[in-house]
Amino acid sequence: MNIIESTPTDFSGVCVLIAGGTSGVGLSSASSFARAGAAHVTLLGRNEERGASALEQIMRKDPEARVDFISADTNDPGQAMEAVERAATAMGRLDVLVNSTVSPYRPTLFVDLAPEELVTVLVSQAAGPMHTCRAAVPIMRRQETGVIVNVASDAARVPTPGETALGGAMAAIVTFSKTLALEVKRYGIRVNIVTPSLIVNTGSYDRVMEDSSFSKKIFDRIVSAAHLGLTEPEDLANTILFLASHHASRITGQVISVNGGISIA
């Protein structure tokens, strides 16, 4: 089935920062914001080569788009703070922050996970969005407006074998985001969370569905429940744009699952 790409509103004049914007959901969202007329879109990512490739892909579709890339590891609080402030200064303001960062992870039973890996999984999956939010909130507070959309995972809501540590990290993002929404609503800032399950055409999907892997056996069964079709990056991008738009101006602190019917939670 073909995905219908749509833009729910006009984002002219809006400045957007996307952490994890060089691939997958982040790149699809950046392209969608540019297509919807965003005044300026800045991508954050660790790899400069991938950053250059992402810019080229967006500009190929929208030659008039204003898009930049900043190299930063958002798991490092110093780099995250500096990158967000640098982006806001370059763009002139910061209206929308999207966190779509992900670290390589293959589902592993808890008993098979090395003890020292626990902290690595928790920090690498959950710390980045918290760091960028910490940098963005003071900027948005001064503006008295702003939107934050954090991408987590249905692992936060639906227990799945092999996702014990990942589920804990994703639950951290969800609870953090909902609590932040309560704290910042008085400043005109909205915070929402999108939780996908499997997303095709992404590195995460390829790792999970690798032949003969433990995770493939688990997710082969899960895929059969996606009666509406497996999620594609564009599905997430459309949801993110909606949450960032004026159509969602009364929505904050909500968790929206985009998973094609894999689970209802």
80, 100, 105, 221 from 74: Cα distances, Å: 4, 11, 17, 34
What local confidence, expressed as pLDDT, does residue 200 receive? 74
Tell me, yes or no, whether 24 lies in a domain. yes
What local confidence, expressed as pLDDT, does residue 203 receive? 64
Q: Which residues contact 100 (CB under 8 A, 6 or more apart)?
A: 18, 19, 20, 21, 24, 25, 26, 29, 151, 236
What domain range is 191 assigned to?
Answer: 15-257
Tell me, yes or no, whether 214 lies in a domain. yes
Tell me, yes or no, whether 263 lies in a domain. no
Supply the CATH number for residue 64's domain: 3.40.50.720
- Residue-level pLDDT, tens digit, the chain, 265 residues: 344 455 557 899 999 999 999 999 999 999 999 999 999 999 999 999 999 999 999 999 999 999 999 999 999 999 999 999 999 999 999 999 999 998 777 778 899 999 999 999 999 999 999 999 999 999 999 999 999 999 999 989 988 888 899 999 999 999 999 999 999 999 999 999 999 977 776 766 566 656 566 666 666 666 677 778 778 899 999 999 999 999 999 999 999 999 888 777 6
Tell me, yes or no, whether 168 lies in a domain. yes
d(CA 60, CA 71): 21
Q: Which residues contact 240 (CB under 8 A, 6 or more apart)?
A: 25, 29, 32, 98, 149, 151, 194
Tell me, yes or no, whether 182 lies in a domain. yes
Tell me, yes or no, whether 113 lies in a domain. yes
What local confidence, expressed as pLDDT, does residue 33 receive? 97
What local confidence, expressed as pLDDT, does residue 222 receive? 67
Split into its structural domains, the chain has a count of 1
d(CA 161, CA 129): 25
- Global confidence as pTM: 0.90
Tell me, yes or no, whether 4 lies in a domain. no
Q: Which two tokens stand for residue 132?
A: 């960028």
What local confidence, expressed as pLDDT, does residue 102 receive? 81
What local confidence, expressed as pLDDT, does residue 264 receive? 79
What local confidence, expressed as pLDDT, does residue 9 receive? 75
- Asked if 168 contacts 153 with a C-beta cutoff of 8 angstroms, the reply is no
The residue behind tokens 């790792």 is 207
Tell me, yes or no, whether 265 lies in a domain. no
